[in-house]
Structure 1
Amino acid sequence: MDAAKNVFYMNLGFPDKMSVPPTESDKSYLAGRGLSVKLSAISSVSAIWLNFAVGEYVELQFDGPPGSLVSWRQGFKVKDAVGGDNRTFIVPSEYLKRLAGRTATLKYVVTPVVGKPRTSGILTFEIRGLYLPALNVIEVVDDTIDLNKISSKGAVKYVTISVDYKDMRDGDQVRVIMEGLDEKQQAVTQSDLRPISSGNLSSNPNFRPMTFIWREEKIKVFNGGVDIYYQVYREGIWYNSIKRSLYVGSRLVGLAPFLQDDDHQNIVGPLDPDKVFGYVNVRIPFSGTLVNDKITMFWHDSSLQNRLTETLTVTPGNVDQDLNIEVYLDRTINSYRGKFVTVYYQIERTLPGGQNLRFNSPAYKFFVGTQQEQDAADSRVLKGAVVGGVKDGSMDVSLARTGTTLTVPFAETEEGDNVTAYWQLAEGGAPTVLGTQAVVAANVNNDLVFNISAATVNTALNKKATAYYVIERQGLDGKPRKFRSQEASFSVGPQLADLSLPAPEVPAVVDAVLNPMVALNGTKVVIRPSAAFAVGDTVRLFFSGTGGAGTPDIATQTVSSLSQALEFIITASAIGANMGSVVWVYYNVTRNGLARPIESQENLFKIERLGLDNFSAPVIAQAPGGVLDLAAVNTDIVIVLKAWLFMAAGQLVWLSLQGVAKDGSFLEINVWTAKPLTGTEAQQDLAITVARAEFDKLADGSEFEVFAKVSVDQDIEDLYAEEFPVLTVAIKSQVNPSGGGSTGGASGTGST
């Protein structure tokens, strides 16, 4: 509390010299940490007044002043706990730094099961210190430092770090810091300190922004990720900038694919089949690939029904070249004319430890046809053709012997039009041209009829087909334009194809979302009886999600009754591996006499994440009551992560400690970084040993936080990992206070 201004406050940064043990003023400096906020269920022990009760939802709200656009929220459902469900939240430091020199507010809102929400009182406080934006690394592309593409001068290769901040002044000292792990997973820290003088600040117009040179030999020490930031020293206080997390090495996926013609010239805009000589090249940038990577290219239209895939393997001979996949005009491109196409690729990589990772590239989207056709496709929709012998989406099977007709309604045609009719199998492939007719004065008021031969119909027997027509018409500008009709889709014969089987049902799914808490023992998938089934059919269910356990092999079932539903059980491990992801559930039917299985429609839904309420805070038994007495502990420190729901081998775990170093600076100790769980570890609580010497680095009498995360889908990026509640521990002071210390500042640990 600032008595002079009668206002609460906290300080960014950390003092150059701290008292031992730290004074209350020292504790008001966050040293780059987040702000610890404690919410207590019981506000008065004597009155037993409950701030919130079991079953209610509590949300902590941190906001900057109006117009700041700085806001942060986190909530929890209150559990039944001895002494009340008391929680500690950490407001991330990047939100605090954006409000340097301004005020912020904290409050919480309680939403009961029944009734109106309640709002706590508002705590207003100042955030004092410097706002230091993130630095810039000139050679970085997509947050990646590719050592093959950095700057060079003579034999020296390097990157340029650019630092600038508001109110840069004479006397400031700027220190750039790089932190990460080496190939042995040992912590590495590098730094470069430079002072600012009045001479270089005022007389050198090119001084701002400041530049630091980071040489290749120092960059190469880091294995994968590196955090880079800078500190500014002013008037006895060090201030930390916002951190940037970069990747050292070739990024798994950084660039979208692109198209080139047969002369290797880039294709910009629509893909015009009339200008294609045999094929086009789908180019996959080599910057994200490594030897032995498996690259799968996907090409599909907006319906996702027609899909082309091609797979390549990266070899020593092509690792430094863009990969090339030829897509042919007659076989593929023509069949997509008039449609929007999406192309992307997936990299599958096996790590040295045997772990498989999959990453999708950004998508490249384009229209197949001319620019005029694209404009027309955006605005012109023609009525569908009428196919003879089709009723309720099914064509009489006898027409496979006699043939049928396609009729274009005269209301859609004009004199001078050229109308071409097409027949195409739903499974893809080039369309069959049924013929072209010119619209003249004699037939402009008549429907156009095209014959569909028995041989053409027979190609779709026991399958699904579509029929449509394209009108070529001269525009007002004298240029021809093409208009495509809606497609008439139908099955041929009683054996229905892809889209004729209804999607499977997942009863536990509500509004396309599955709550994993209702699937702790797995979930049921139901396939209802269908007219498409026959006794003896073999039904195979597909649950398609993330790799490994997320896409399990499911035993087939045989249809024994046409009135009984089939039920499949999806295991809890498959549910857990897909939390936070979208899964596709579908099935196919294999029948004697059919060349290929019949596929159902897909059921797409998202599996929710567990959320903070379903994880226990880390536990340090050697720190009873949240206090760690290092003088009484001679062994290494053990941090326990309680087993969580859907815990499984292969999940990746992060564990780190954040606190204040003995010199008052921010200290982060990375214990586990994307560490995969073994089969044994996944069956029990995790007991993680941290060398006692690591804790000797922490300031006497200070607090530190324990952060833990887990990635259930084995994603090596922790951006979407599940977070554990934060554990806050105090280091017991080993020095008796001598008295007289200042207590003017508010503690960095606020409470509401």
Structure 2
Amino acid sequence: MTSYTRYLPLVVAPRAGLLALHPLFVTGMTRPIVGGDGGISIAVVNDHAQGALFVIDPWVSILEGDTIDVFLDAQIVYHHVVTATEVDQRLFFYVEAGRFVPGWIEQCYYLLLRKGETAPDDPSVALRLRVKLDRPAGPDREPHKPGHSELKIAQLPEEVIRQGVDAEWAAKGVPMTLQPYPNIALRDTVQVKWGSVFLKPLVLTQAHVDGTQPIVITADQGEILAGGDSAALLIQYEVYDEVWNYSEKWSIPTTVNVDAGAWRLEQPIIKESVNGVIDLKGLNQQDVTVQIHVRTEDFELGDTITMTWIGTPQIGKPLIHTQSRDITNVPSILELKVPYEEVRAIAMGSADASYVLTKKNGGPPLSSKRTFADVIGDGYAHPAPTIREVVGEVLEPDVMYATVDISYLGMTDGDVIELMWDGSLSSGAPYLHTEQHTVSRNEAADKLITIYILDEHISVLANGRLTLWYRVSNDNAAYGVSESERLLVKVQAIAATLPAPQVPEAPDGVLDPSKVFDKVTVRIDYTGTVKDDILTYYWTAISSAISTSDWLPITTVSAGKPVNFRVDASYVTPSIGQYVKIRYTLKHASTQLLSYSATLNLQIGQRVGDLPPPEVVQAANGSLDPIVATNGVDVIVKYDNMDPALDTIALKWRGTPGPGTSVDLELPAHASGRVQFHLPATFIGPNIGKSVAVSYDVKRYNFWNTSELLTLDVLRFQNPETQLPRPEVPQAIAGVLDLMAFSGNPDVVVQKWPFIALGQRLWLRLEGKTIAGADHRIVLLDGVLVTAGQVSNGLKEILSRTELLKLAHASAATVLCKVAFDGANDESSAIAFPLLPLTVRTRYDYVTPVITQVSDSRGEVAEGGLTFDKQVTLKGTATRGEKVELYDGSTSLGSADVGTNGTWERLLTNLTVKNYHITAHALYDADPVSSLLRAFTVEAAITPTIDSVKDSKGADVPLNGATFDTSVTVTGKASPDQAVQLYDGSTPIAPVTPVDSNGDWSKTFTGLSVAAHTIKAKARYGTEPESTARTFTVLQTVTPTITGVSDSKGEVPLNGTTFDTSVTVSGNASPNQAVQLYDGSTPFPSVTQVNGNGDWSQLLPGLSVAPHTIKAKARYGTEPESTARTFTVLQTVTPTITGVSDSKGEVPLNGTTFDTSVTVSGNASPNQAVQLYDGSTPFPSVTQVNGNGDWSQ
């Protein structure tokens, strides 16, 4: 029965030390469950005949006689008293299926009553379990028909049913509507299969269940194209509920014509498919035939067909099988075989077949449409596992381990396999062990997984039974969890009823491997065989990897006769020097029962025999003094059956990994029975103070045998004072290191020592006391590796003078050296060399401190002087190498170190506004101890301000204002008697500006550019605060111009005349400023405003009849003047007619003339013009007046 549980059983780790009782574990329980802790499905209750399998992990302090009661809600469903064999073991038990009622089990827990107690422990953590024992859609009412009778076909759109799915339908997707089905429930999952493509599962909501929302699943374009074109593409769906109960079968199938442009060639035919159904029983274990119509329209000789068979099991991922074949006959029917195993693996699933045509001429490949078929018949998804150690159907309980092989079609890297070692004890009690394994890429390629089960899980089943199977899951939840067939095994000793087999090449039970060339023979002399019996032999070596078996059927010819099996030499030679068990079984055709033979224990090759431990010549009583092994050691190997013709001896000196271990020395055996090895001293040093495992291996017949072990104790140096070098300090005289007697750093020297080698670790340091009496270490080497130079010359390291000066004057110190000969980074296990005692002198005579200087950021602060800085630097002198402490009055300001030149320096920070009185106190025994007082004052720095900006006329230039002056004077405030640095933008203005004693400062800026200017003042004292910026703009001065003078008649030209006494003067100047107009030197009464475009205009009325000289003077900047504009106002002369003459002469006033042309003359304003009229009618042209005022026309 296949279990559809999505989540594999939890692997429970040991929980030693936990006092709480953890929850019960129900195998196969589904998680997660909305509103609960797990789900109980049909598979959980019915997979075992005894009911649901429960597990309780061992609790802390479990004892024989402890009692447990298991509760489902208030009802006890299991009572058990712990036996001696169950102490510290998991408890397995079944709860009858009838105990599980659909709905909710509100509390599933157990109570523990410990032996000797009257009250139970607190209950275990309770589980809330949902029990659901019905399948979606209920039972299939027509099991003889394809599909589930209650899962109706997926309803397609009417147009799709009539016309099929074309490219347009594929682009917008094809919706499918599903009818409600029996047992529909919230969170049921519907999985639709479009051809061989699984659509995205749909989880049902309450609206789906209530029928207020239709169940619609849409196949999108990508899924339709992936499903391919087909004249009858299969559409089915299945349903599983929240606890992973699956519908019994897929839905009633429907088909649809798909021609979406994916594939064009004619679909293949599945020969064994009858009305779209392949019956496994009807196949009779024969392959399935896929037929392809090779047509002249599409195929040519030399083309290649690649057929793809996609098998979709009821549960699990699709299995893909491909074959390629060259076209050799056109036209024809090409037949390709799909192995029966591929078809059997998809029982109750479906298959589809298609092919791709690759053109020999290099043209684009062509694809076929698909054909589909359902596969009916019983079967598990995967074949049963096998156990290599099983003989017939028996696994002996005393085997060291069981080698389980798992192989199945479609194995993919990332598959999770859970092996279920599901057994029954001899008492009938259940026993379950699980092993999980994730398939690797190489394993998936080999299609083989091997899992080893330890003997503890085998021996416990002695005289019981084992059901072995496995589950497979994958990250793709749509595939579910599939199961294998079961392997049924008896766990017991084999009861032999048949005689043992024989090996003719080993008449005395010993096989000489030198006489084995390519095979040996296993001969079965039993003559009671009959036709159709099956005879199987087993060659069982110490490892399953070199074990083998084979079988053959008994025929009419071989019945009642001895039978020979051949065993390849590859299974013989690996067992040289060992025993092999040879047996056989006979499966009787008449009863199908097995009989077992006695065992032939075959020895392969002459045994080496006992191999006593080796001897180390330089070691007495298993102990080696390293000082006697400075030239290495000699190891003697002796054993009774030493054979120079057969044996090679390899010495194994296993000490400190790496440099302390040698495993590659080999020597041939000697007729004397004695072989001596020599190991150099490099293998001794790393093992000083440790144990070495000394043994040897003997190779005979290419098989190695290991001797008994000699545990050799390599002692530490027995007299290190004489056997190891003492550190030296060459600068020390008679054990006194006087730091005042030399400059620089002293050295520490250690001469070469026995066994010095690369890979050893060093610790070298000086230990002493500080002035305060505290321990002080000067570390020179701290667990570093020995270098090649040190191997040649020993150690020479610098001893820091700075660190030595931290020691108390004339105090005792010790130089120590340690070496880890094995290279371990653990000082506690290193070997200590002899110590070097020293007396360290660290200082000169004491002097009274002196304060020589106080300085701030501006320089030195005089005695009693002033600073605005919040920090100052004090300098002075004192005893070199010592310390002084600084005080302000009685308040400590910290200490300063005195350098080797006798000077000290200290930065005082976070100073406040006040008077300071500083003294330096010696932190050593000076007399007097304190310096003379040094005083200074810290004052608060006033942030500079800019109070005004005035132009050259003394006018204020307002904030953000403008001026036409290129020279301005800036004034402001700051700390008295200091200085400020003025900036125009980021450019400093040199020199700095002093501040007078009243705190005032002033600075005149000249030559300012026509631009915006941002002036700020930055203090040259204290923390250099800055003023608020003062911004103004220097504008370009535009010299006024007069662009025109106009009267009532129009423009009056330069130096021209006008008879008007009012004219309008216009011109240009700086925008938004003003100009003053002058007539000669006389200003007109009011100034004239200039507009934003720089234009101005002014009416000048009441002008006298006279020449006029007009100019415009700027009322801004340096007040430039325009060029003068001159014109004359003339007196107006009334025109007169002085005469009229014709061709005869003057025509008098009111006279007559017979001419039709007359000349009229007169006077008017000179250089002007008059218009003559005849009545009210003007003559066509005006008449010009000459410079004398005369005119004629």
Alignment TM class, shorter chain as reference: 0.3 to 0.5
TM-score after normalising by structure 2: 0.25
Rg comparison, structure with higher value? 2
